[in-house]
């Protein structure tokens, strides 16, 4: 009796979270086919990167990215995870190598072609990187600027269709009450959802996530990871995510890439990860790590 009254508020809180976490239609969430049946959308071959003067950050990186998969990149700090992620949308230029995305070589792109390529790749960040003096709505619409000319962009000339799409995405992510709030009034979890909305409205093929949950509490982290996985399942968008949390990577990804000192030392499904491979990735034994 006493226990029941104590647990009831918890139950309602849990239910509310569930509503926030699962706003997408349930029937759309289906299990995936086996990895080999899914088409490759990006091929990364022999990428090398070194910053001027220092030793190599990335050494001969090659891997394929498949449509709609959740791909985690794990590894110790300084292994080159962030650099690798930014090379995918060319925020950082590699020294050599080839990247083929939608049958085009992205490393030769310039100007308009480069901007167009970036509209196909969304990105979210550890520190959210929202313009916090602008509203949630304005920040989400920033995701459309890649499709605009200079003048259209400067005067915020968004079409009604784009605005309606933004409203739809914002309500899917459960932040419609805050649509006109300034972003500095939001909590961390809400800010990250605005970040996801800004990436989604780009209509991307891939979303890159640079440590998306490193600044969030465990519950917000879970909500964000659930969203990312559902986006990959229901919208068939590939999610590439840098993570520090091994157990999160195991729980949510279709495939894990382990990076150590600029080289790929592991590239397989999460079930294949063993104590030995963890030793390879982090350079220390499983018992010595805090995996939670």
Partner 1 sequence: MSTYVDRSSKGKIKISRPNKGQLKFRMLIIATILFTIAGFFMMDYKGLELWPAITGTLVNLRDMFLMPQLNQITLGSAIWQVIITLSLAFLSTILGAVISLFLAFGAAMNLSKPWVSQTIKTFITIVRAVPTVLWVLIFAIAAGLGSVAAIIGMVFHSIAYLVKAYSEAFEEIDEGKIEALRATGSNYFHILFHVVIPQTKSFLIAWTFLRFEINFGVAVAMGAAAGAGGIGYALFMSSGFYYDMNEVGMITYMILIVAILLEVVANKLKAAA
Among candidate residues 228, 223, 160, the one with its CA nearest the CA of residue 187? 223
Residues 185-214 that bind partner 1 (CB under 8 A): 195, 198, 202, 208
Is residue 113 a contact point for partner 1 (CB under 8 A)?
no
For residue 97 the two structure tokens come to: 């190598």
- 91 is written with which tokens? 């925020």
> Is residue 222 at the binding interface for partner 1, with CB under 8 A as the rule?
no
Q: Is residue 130 close enough to count as binding partner 1 by CB under 8 A?
A: yes
> Which region, judged by CB under 8 A, interacts with partner 1, from 132-140, 171-179, 260-268, 281-289?
132-140
- Which C-beta is closer to partner 1: that of 204 or that of 258? 204
**Closest distance to partner 1 from the beta carbon of 212 (Å):** 13
Cα-Cα end-to-end distance for the chain: 34
Q: Classify residue 70 by burial, with Cβ atoms within 10 Å: 0-12, 13-18, 19+.
A: buried
Ranges within 137-156 binding partner 1 (CB under 8 A): 138, 142-148, 150, 153-154, 156
The pair of structure tokens assigned to 132 is: 């916090």
User: Of 21 and 214, which has the nearer Cβ to partner 1?
Assistant: 214
Q: Do residues 212 and 241 make contact, with C-beta atoms less than 8 angstroms apart?
A: yes
- Rounded to a whole number of angstroms, the minimum distance from the CB of residue 129 to partner 1 is 4
Interaction of residue 121 with partner 1, rule CB under 8 A: yes
The verdict on 104 binding partner 1 (CB under 8 A) reads no
The dihedral built from the CA positions of residue 262, 263, 269 and 274, taken in this order, carries a sign that is negative
29 CB neighbour count, 10 Å cutoff: 12
Q: Which stretch binds partner 1 (CB under 8 A): 47-55, 109-117, 216-224, 274-282?
A: 109-117
Spatial separation of the C-alpha atoms in residues 277 and 274, rounded to whole Å: 5
Longest dimension (CA), the chain: 69
Size of the site for partner 1 (CB under 8 A): 34
- Residue ranges binding partner 1 (CB under 8 A): 89, 91, 115-119, 121-123, 125, 127, 129-134, 138, 142-148, 150, 153-154, 156, 195, 198, 202, 208
């Amino acid at each position: 009796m006493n226990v029941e009254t104590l647990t009831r508020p918890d139950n309602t809180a849990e239910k509310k979270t569930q509503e926030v976490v699962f706003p997408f239609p349930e029937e759309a969430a289906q299990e995936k086919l086996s990895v080999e049946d899914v088409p490759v959308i990006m091929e990364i071959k022999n990428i090398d990167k070194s910053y001027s003067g220092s030793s190599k950050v990335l050494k001969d990186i090659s891997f394929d990215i498949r449509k709609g998969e959740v791909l985690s990149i794990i590894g110790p700090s300084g292994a080159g995870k962030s650099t690798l992620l930014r090379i995918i949308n060319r925020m950082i230029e590699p020294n050599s190598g080839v990247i083929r995305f939608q049958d085009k070589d992205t490393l030769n792109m310039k100007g308009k072609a480069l901007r167009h390529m970036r509209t196909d790749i969304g990105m979210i960040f550890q520190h959210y990187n929202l313009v916090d003096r602008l509203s949630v709505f304005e920040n989400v619409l920033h995701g459309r600027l890649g499709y605009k000319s200079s003048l259209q962009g400067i005067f915020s000339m968004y079409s009604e269709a784009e605005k309606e799409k933004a409203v739809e995405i914002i309500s899917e992510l459960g932040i419609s009450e805050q649509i006109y709030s300034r972003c500095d009034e939001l909590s961390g979890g809400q800010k990250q959802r605005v970040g996801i909305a800004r990436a989604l409205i780009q209509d991307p093929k891939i979303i890159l996530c640079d440590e998306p949950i490193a600044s969030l509490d465990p519950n917000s982290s879970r909500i964000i990871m659930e969203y990312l996985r559902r986006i990959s399942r229901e919208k068939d968008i590939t999610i590439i995510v840098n993570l520090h949390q091994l157990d999160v990577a195991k729980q949510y990804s279709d495939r894990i890439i382990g990076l150590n000192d600029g080289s790929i030392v592991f590239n397989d499904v999460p079930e294949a990860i063993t104590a030995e491979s963890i030793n390879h990735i982090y350079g220390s034994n499983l018992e010595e790590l805090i995996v939670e």
